[in-house]
């Protein structure tokens, strides 16, 4: 087992680090303060292959694997978790759903635009009254000839306003039937498909989150992804990969917060010496590094399951749970290292502190991850 990055992976890591330093870091505070979703940034990301990381080259993607994907999301999130979140949602949810379950003609139609950054994608499962309890969804599609008429809404949708296409899971059968839901791909501009309220969030403010509304939205049956009734099963498989990307995002934020704390501890003096010389500070840093490295190994274990075509739900849940909780604890400790200065926007840790909490909620709360883990253990 080789824990070293390959030469290609190191080159990818450096490329993404350079991109984040040049295109993201100078704008972080402005985007965060004014809740700006920088659409043009993702066009530039597309030019580097970052919008179709897992997509084969024949569809215009980078043709990379999950190990490289983790590296990319991690490096972006070291600088800004919100941009890491948007990149992860686009790649793992919308693009990956089309890649895994669409027909060949659908892939050829949509993947090149999404992989190039010409289009930004979104993905819809959550509803106002059905968060973790997705099987009780009320967004319904009814068949009308060759069309399906969709009514209802989805909320907390990343890129709900700015996306050019959404993959949405809606009910086409009986309530609580796991085979009663279907996935549709709906392009922006389709009549009856509208954006609703944009959420004003605690953190991740540069990543757009909004409601989407379907009001007698007529969608042709050729826009169904896979077969009728497979939507829920598809979405659960997509979330396995999505949890790896959220774990990578959390890992990056934890590293960003730790690095800021390390640098500050080497500069800040109290009682006549650098605060890094105090055991109370140095032991915090040691704990941060240990938890971060443990999270990294769990993420690559989950990635190896996917790369080897093995069931990944258990390891994806463990990796996401660990990394997201570590992001919260490390950003909290990093803020403590800064003291009062950590509480003001002149320094980066308050943003890591705000942004990191989302990782324990999005794409399955920590409690849902523990549910997945414990059910697997008890059903062995």
How far apart, in whole angstroms, are the C-alpha atoms of residue 165 and residue 191?
A: 13
The catalytically annotated residue of 68, 291, 350, 363 is 363
> What are the b/e assignments for 11-24, b being 16+ CB within 10 Å?
ebbeebeebbeebb
363 is catalytic: yes
Q: Which residues are catalytic?
A: 363
């Amino acid at each position: 087992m080789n824990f070293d990055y390959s030469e290609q992976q190191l080159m990818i890591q450096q490329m993404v680090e350079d991109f984040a330093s040049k295109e993201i870091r100078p704008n972080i505070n402005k985007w965060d303060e004014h809740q700006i979703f920088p659409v043009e940034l993702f066009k530039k990301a597309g030019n580097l292959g970052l919008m179709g990381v897992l997509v084969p080259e024949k569809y215009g993607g980078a043709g990379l694997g999950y190990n490289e994907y983790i590296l990319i999301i991690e490096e972006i999130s070291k600088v800004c978790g919100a941009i890491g979140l948007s990149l992860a949602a686009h790649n793992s949810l919308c693009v990956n759903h089309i890649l895994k379950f669409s027909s060949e003609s659908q892939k050829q139609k949509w993947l090149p635009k999404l992989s190039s950054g010409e289009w930004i994608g979104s993905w819809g499962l959550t509803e106002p009254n059905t968060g973790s309890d997705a099987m009780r969804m009320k967004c319904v599609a009814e068949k009308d000839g060759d069309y399906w008429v969709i009514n209802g809404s989805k909320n907390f949708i990343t890129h709900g306003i700015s996306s050019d296409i959404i993959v949405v899971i809606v009910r086409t059968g009986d309530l609580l039937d796991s085979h009663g839901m279907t996935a549709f791909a709906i392009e922006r501009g389709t009549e009856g498909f509208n954006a609703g309220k944009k959420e004003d969030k605690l953190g991740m403010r540069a990543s757009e989150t909004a409601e989407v509304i379907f009001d007698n939205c007529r969608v042709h049956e050729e826009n169904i992804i896979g077969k009728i009734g497979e939507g829920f099963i598809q979405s659960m498989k997509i979330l396995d990969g999505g949890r790896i990307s959220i774990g990578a995002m959390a890992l990056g934020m934890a590293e960003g917060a730790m690095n800021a704390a390390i640098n500050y501890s080497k500069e800040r003096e109290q009682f006549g010496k650098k605060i890094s010389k105090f055991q109370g500070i140095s032991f915090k840093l040691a704990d941060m590094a240990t938890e971060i490295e443990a999270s990294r190994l769990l993420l690559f274990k989950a990635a190896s399951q996917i790369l080897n075509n093995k069931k990944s739900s258990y390891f994806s849940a463990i990796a996401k749970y660990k990394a997201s909780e570590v992001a919260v604890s490390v950003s909290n400790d990093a803020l403590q290292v800064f003291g009062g200065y950590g509480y003001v926007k002149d320094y980066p840790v308050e943003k890591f502190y705000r942004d990191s909490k989302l990782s324990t909620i999005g794409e399955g709360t920590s409690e849902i991850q523990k549910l997945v883990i414990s059910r697997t253990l008890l059903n062995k």
